[in-house]
Amino acid sequence: MILRLLLSFLFISSVNAAVTEEGFFVYDSTGESLKILNQHKEISIDHRTRTGFEAYGPKGLGKYLELLNLDHDVLAEMHEDNKNLGDYPTPEEIEKQLKDLVKGNESFVKMFSIGESHEGRKLWALKFSDNVEVDEVEPEVKFIANMHGNEIVGRELMVRLVDELITKYKNNDFSIQDLINNSEVYIIPSMNPDGAAAKRRGNARWSDLNRDFPDFTTNDNTNEIKGREPETKAIMLFQAQRKFSLSANFHGGSVVVNYPWDTHADDAPLTELIVDLSKEYASYNEPMRNSTRFQDGVVNGYRWYHVDGGMQDWSYYWYNDLQVTIELSDHKWPNYSEIPQFYEENKESLIRYLSRVHQGAGFNFPKNPNAKGKVEIKRLKSINNDKEMLLGTYPFSGGEFYKVLPLGKYQYKITLSDGSEHSINALVDFDTTNSNGNYQAL
């Protein structure tokens, strides 16, 4: 009770659930310290290892760790090498790089802002499509990086990926043209430009954006933007306007693909598919594939460490947008000269993951673009599975629906809000040359 009162006093200036003004590595090989700190929503836990974990919180966290007699070191003193920090572009220089890449290629890529950071920096997104100004009936996939400002590798890899997609599309690379012609690809290189500029985890208000989303397992279980950080609001509003069915967000501090749930011990829907997608990403990344910490280079989020308010769980739970979290580098802010090597290690994985958005099936109502309702998806009998299986019932709106699925045959039972019903059968394979054919018009 005394410690709880002291904690309340030390953190009294904190108004947000996850503030990152102080960061420490807590040495803990038994997990006992983790149990204690996990009780406090003010503290963000990150990157658990065999020897301990990272802990972030408002001013006063270090004093609290001392009161608990927990062995710890200041993260800034452990990980930041000032020689590494100066070579990276500023957020403004990243903006110019992206605009220069898009210039002259506006027929298949456009750059636009989805909102602004707390300090007024624009949150830039890029859309790739053969009809870039049209909202086509095609599968939608997105990448988001740099939501933790001091985890910088993802931002740099997204800029290089944008460059590669543009170059290969113009050079008639078949796989890239197929991807862009038959889907809508969105890339947000930096969700937290203020944090990147300050070289810190949180945004300009020190808030941990990956603890700021609605969470279906906590009291913050309503999908509303009120009271959230401007960067979080921007992503939430953007997601609500789109129909993403596959996503990834990029972090640093480990080398692994982390898959949902982060916030709950139960398996997420279609966990087998999620694990397969995660393992495929890792299999083309040699350091990830050969990890001695994570089998096959993947890990379930909750089994690694518990996270409430994370983006991947929010995306999957409320929008049926299958999302994983990809940790790209052991050091969050490595020497800038290492970035080309990181890109080479991830390049094939990035493109293959994007292309997996074609592994799905959907429908649309061309004469009723405002149609909404629900769809019940049942997996049908086949050679590989000897019984039917109900996967679930999903809402849809805006006249269309698409879902990434395991390979197989499916039945969609569609019920519109006016009570009318439709039924279609769909075959999910991986014939990307016919990905538009994965939609059936009704």
The 10s digit of each residue's pLDDT in 23-39 is 999 999 999 999 999 88
| Interval 95-123 mean pLDDT | 98
Cis bond upstream, residue 261 (ω within 30):
yes
Mean pLDDT (whole number) for 277-284: 98
Q: Reply yes or no on whether the pLDDT at 14 is more than 60.
A: no
Other beta carbons less than 10 A from residue 285's beta carbon = 24
- Across the beta sheet with 244-251, the strand order is 109-116, 122-128, 184-188, 140-145, 244-251, 322-329, 254-259, 298-300
Looking at 1.10.10, 2.20.28, 1.10.260, 2.60.40, the CATH number of the domain 361-441 comes to 2.60.40
pLDDT of residue 190: 98
β-pairing verdict for 254-259 and 322-329: antiparallel
- In this predicted structure, the answer to whether residue 86 has a pLDDT above a threshold of 70 is no
* CA–CA distance, 61 with 44 (Å, rounded to integer): 11
Q: Using pLDDT thresholds of 50, 70 and 90, give the confidence band for residue 42.
A: confident
Q: In this model, does residue 83 exceed pLDDT 90?
A: no
Among 330, 322, 381, CA closest to 357: 322
Please check whether residue 308 is in contact with residue 217, taking contact to mean a CB–CB distance below 8 angstroms.
yes
Q: What is the pLDDT of residues 303-334, one digit of tens each?
A: 999 999 999 999 999 999 999 999 999 999 99
Instruction: Specify the pLDDT at position 10.
Output: 52
CA 400 to chain centre: 23
Assigned token pair, 174: 């078949």
SS3 content of the chain, % helix, strand, coil (to 5): 35, 25, 40
Q: CA angle 258-190-281, nearest 5°? A: 30
State the catalytic residue, choosing from 42, 138, 156, 327.
Answer: 327
Give pLDDT, residue 354: 98
In degrees and rounded to multiples of 5, residue 436 shows phi and psi of -60, -30
CA distance 311 to 213: 6
- CATH class of the structural domain 2-79: alpha beta
Tokens of 440: 């059936």
Model pLDDT, residue 23: 93
Q: If you ran DSSP here, which 8-state letter would residue 437 be given? A: G
Domain edges within the chain: 2-79, 84-357, 361-441
3-state secondary structure of 137: coil
- Residue 77's pLDDT band (cuts 50, 70, 90): low
Q: Is the dihedral of CA 281, 145, 50, 38 positive or negative?
A: negative
Q: State whether residue 52 is helix, strand or coil.
A: strand
Distance (Å, whole) CA 303 – CA 410? 31
Residues 182-208: tens digit of each pLDDT? 999 999 999 999 999 999 999 999 999
Q: Is 327 one of the catalytic residues?
A: yes
pTM over 0.75? The answer is yes
Give me the percent of the chain exceeding a pLDDT of 90: 87
Q: What is the CATH number of domain 84-357?
A: 3.40.630.10
